[in-house]
Amino acid sequence: MTSPLKERIVRHSPSRGAGSPDVWGIYEPDTGSIQYVCADPATKDAALIDIVWNLDPKHYRFSTESLDQVLALARREGLNVIWVLDTHPHADHVTASAIAGKRTGAPTGIGALVPRIATIWEGIYNMPGAFDVTRDYDRLFAEGERIPLGQLEMQVMLSPGHTLGSISYVCGDAAFTHDTLMQPDVGTSRADFPGGTTEELWDSIQAILALPPQTRCFVGHDYGTSERREPEWEATVAEHKARNPHVKDGTKRQDYIDRRDARDATLALPNRIFAALQINLRGGRLPEPEADGTSYLKIPVNKF
């Protein structure tokens, strides 16, 4: 059953006119993740972006309440889901891409450099050949590729830094910028996962901030609370350039790198990371069941 919090925090960012999509953000409070529905107002064709497969880390049980909520929203709005997209292999939540693709019949997609991330993690898990991204996703999108969405299209921007293969999707005046920017009162995301670099994250953010000022940036995470503020996930390029403490106008590249690296050195690993990467690099599929019919995950010890 969906909790009142999850049901409450759903926000619609309406189309601003020709070439501008409707966007819905659906907050997933267990991981502070935001899931998105991006739709062409004219045709009602829609893409799901970064949808969560709920994992309870206390019991290692999965549920589909977040996906169920997203699909219920799509039905309620009369949307036709034609894409299921990920921006990168997430370390803090498990992707529902495989399940969403099966339920909707829509193809799944992620960035073309994700097989390189898979190679890194095969080494970390000591599982050579464990992941086949080209098998488990229908499409691997390259920099500059255009994805049709009704009468609109989404353009792919390579946005490395958080991971080496992260991509952003830009549809008209909407940019799905995932784990690059946080909200303007917070800053930016971490760059210390294997394959990530702060230098590349800076460059990726500068490319995003070069988009038109009124571009709506939809971020991947927020951790707002009732004591501070409720979760938020939308701000314009202009707002980030005016007041984001990490990258506002006038910020020097090296100052940002030093600040981001110092912050990252204090951060713990996400509590779902070893489960999430093992599943997400399979496109949201569990490992093949063993002889007893159960799937098992491998956890590296003393690696980090």
- pLDDT above 90 (res 110): yes
Tell me what percent of the residues of the chain surpass a pLDDT of 90: 93
Segment 23-52, tens digit of pLDDT: 999 999 999 999 999 999 999 999 999 999
Does pTM top 0.85 for this prediction? yes
pLDDT at position 4: 42
Query: Does a structural domain hold residue 303?
Result: no
For residue 229, the model assigns a pLDDT of 81
Does the residue 124 lie in any domain? Answer: yes
| Token digits of residue 60 | 């290692």
**Domain extent at residue 156:** 4-280
Q: What DSSP state is assigned to residue 188? A: B
Count of Cβ atoms closer than 10 Å to residue 18 Cβ: 10
Q: Are 204 and 160 in contact (CB under 8 A)?
A: yes
Rounded distance between C-alpha atoms, residue 304 and residue 302, angstroms:
6
Q: Is residue 241 part of a domain?
A: yes
Angstrom CA distances, 167 to 143, 204, 205, 247, 250, stand at 8, 9, 12, 19, 26
Find the CATH number of the domain harbouring 11. 3.60.15.10
Each residue's pLDDT tens digit, 199-251:
999 999 999 999 999 999 999 999 876 667 889 999 999 999 999 999 999 99
CB 117 within 8 A of CB 111: no
Q: What mean pLDDT is predicted for residues 239-264?
A: 97
- Domains contained in the chain, number: 1
Position 16, amino acid:
R
Terminus-to-terminus CA distance in the chain, angstroms? 36
Nearest to 55 by CA among 273, 299, 287, 282: 273
- Within a domain: 293: no
- Which residue type, as a one-letter code, is found at position 156? V
**Stretch 266-286: mean pLDDT:** 96
Q: Which of 185, 259, 273, 179 is nearest to 221 (CA)?
A: 179
Q: Please write the tens of the pLDDT for every residue from 111-162.
A: 999 999 999 999 999 999 999 999 999 999 999 999 999 999 999 999 999 9
Show Cβ contacts of residue 228 under 8 Å, excluding neighbours closer than 6 positions: none
Buried b (16+ CB within 10 A) or exposed e, 114-148: bbebbebbeeebeeeeebebeebbbbbbeeebebe
Which pLDDT value is given to residue 14?
98
Q: Are 73 and 114 in contact (CB under 8 A)?
A: no
Cα(251)–Cα(259) distance, integer angstroms: 11
Strands 139-141 and 167-171: unpaired
**How far apart, in whole angstroms, are the C-alpha atoms of residue 107 and residue 81?**
10
For the stretch 59-83, pLDDT in tens is 999 999 999 999 999 999 999 999 9
In this structure, which amino acid lies at residue 73? L
